[in-house]
Amino acid sequence: VEFLYCDLASMKSIRQFVQQFRAKNCPLHVLVNNAGVMLVPERKTEDGFEEHFGLNYLGHFLLTNLLLDTLKQSGMHSHNARIITVSSATHYVGKLHLNDLQSRCSYSPHGAYAQSKLALVLFTYRLQHLLTANGSHVTANVVDPGVVNTDLYKHVFWVIKVVKWMTAWLFFK
């Protein structure tokens, strides 16, 4: 096992990671896009993007696109390379505000999170369409893991934290 650092909230870090990975000349059979933040207060990435959109969507978008050629070279007719992107059922209530993707006009942690997850779903659907149209041996899937007991809930209202603490063992994965 070898560790390569990648901060998905930093476009520079993503580019450095891809450069280091490519230098190893290793195949890439599976890319799992699973990093993210949820319901964070209004703040920006080092590149100036709203954090939900920057980390949850743009980071995965850039990483996937920079590694796509490696994935295509790694996929074979008998064994496709795979891109698995973790989203959330929250995407159902998300709206893409094309004139305000950075949530500058009216910031809502819930709205920003839902928009980032909707963007991931739409990106993955479009990517899969393009991969299929080009006969590529790469598949792109987006998944919802359900409610999982993680630190993503650290920015929720204290009452919800108490309820989570009391019920997570029963209802959360």
CA dist., res. 115 & res. 133, Å (int): 27
Pair of tokens at residue 64:
């996937």
Q: Which of 5, 107, 113, 153 is catalytic?
A: 113
| Paired residues of 143 in beta bridges | 86
92 is catalytic: no
CA dist., res. 95 & res. 114, Å (int): 7
Residue 48 has pLDDT above 80, yes or no: yes
Residue with tokens 């920006």: 44
pTM over 0.75: yes
Domain boundaries, given as residue ranges, for the chain: 11-172
Residue 152 has pLDDT above 60, yes or no: no
Q: What is the mean pLDDT of the segment spanning 127-151? A: 84
Q: What is the mean pLDDT of the segment spanning 156-165? A: 54
Q: What is the model's pLDDT at position 157?
A: 53
Q: What is the model's pLDDT at position 172?
A: 55
Q: What is the model's pLDDT at position 169?
A: 47
The CATH label, of 3.40.50.720, 3.40.50.300, 1.10.10.10, 3.40.50.10420, for the domain at 11-172 is 3.40.50.720
Phi, psi of 96 (to 5 degrees): -85, 115
Q: pLDDT-based confidence at 2, cuts 50/70/90?
A: confident
Pair of tokens at residue 55:
């980390």
